[in-house]
Amino acid sequence: MSEEKQVSTDDRTELGHGPWQVVQKDLWALVGTCSRLEKEKIKDREDFQVTRRKMYLEFLEVVDTFENLFKEFEGSPDKAHEAAAQWVGNFRIVYKMAVRALKRGGVVEMPVAPDELVASARHNVVEVEHYPDKPVETITAVLKKGYLLGDEILRVAEVRAVKRP
């Protein structure tokens, strides 16, 4: 910020400035300051949105890791002896806390309907399958959930879809 010499209204009037010119000059200085502060506020808001988005994306990676862990234990109950089962129960509590924190921040899962067609803005096809009886680009599985932050797509869903051989 530049330093300006402070001159009182009386001093400026004595220097040949009329009182209305002094008021007008002060008013323009205030308008300039307001404009600068508004620009700073907009930049700060944009910076905050970028930081917020990065934080939520990192949170989603944690949630994904928990979901994969739960799927593995559910698919193989003999793997989970008593101590591991207790750990999984504790992990579920932490997972639910993370999901609640995301929801409070406005992050919600982006729904994918059964047999929905791929929409490039919402889905990223990472695996393909061949089904002669289903239309091309029909989603057959969601491999990684997509999320919305308010009305904005935070992360697209990673999906498996139909492709012709």
Q: Each residue of 22-33: pLDDT tens digit?
A: 888 889 999 999
Please state, in angstroms and rounded to a whole number, the distance separating the CA atoms of residues 106 and 108: 6
Model pTM above 0.75: no
- Domain 108-165, second-level architecture: Roll (2.30)
How would you list the strands of the sheet with 152-155, edge to edge?
Answer: 107-110, 146-149, 152-155
The answer to whether 125 and 143 are in contact (CB under 8 A) is no
Percent of the chain surpassing pLDDT 90: 41
> What pLDDT band is residue 1 in, cutting at 50, 70 and 90?
very low
User: Other CB atoms closer than 10 Å to residue 123's CB: what's the count?
Assistant: 21
* Beta bridge partners of residue 70, listed in sequence order: none
Match 């200085």 to its residue by tokens. 29
Dihedral sign for Cα atoms in the order 125, 131, 136, 139 = negative
Please state, in angstroms and rounded to a whole number, the distance separating the CA atoms of residues 116 and 71: 23
Question: By C-alpha distance, which of 148, 55, 156, 51 is closest to 108?
Answer: 148
Which two structure tokens, joined as six digits, stand for 86? 């207790």
Q: Each residue of 115-157: pLDDT tens digit?
A: 899 999 999 999 999 988 899 999 999 999 999 999 999 999 9
Domain boundaries, the chain: 9-105, 108-165
Percent of the chain surpassing pLDDT 70: 84
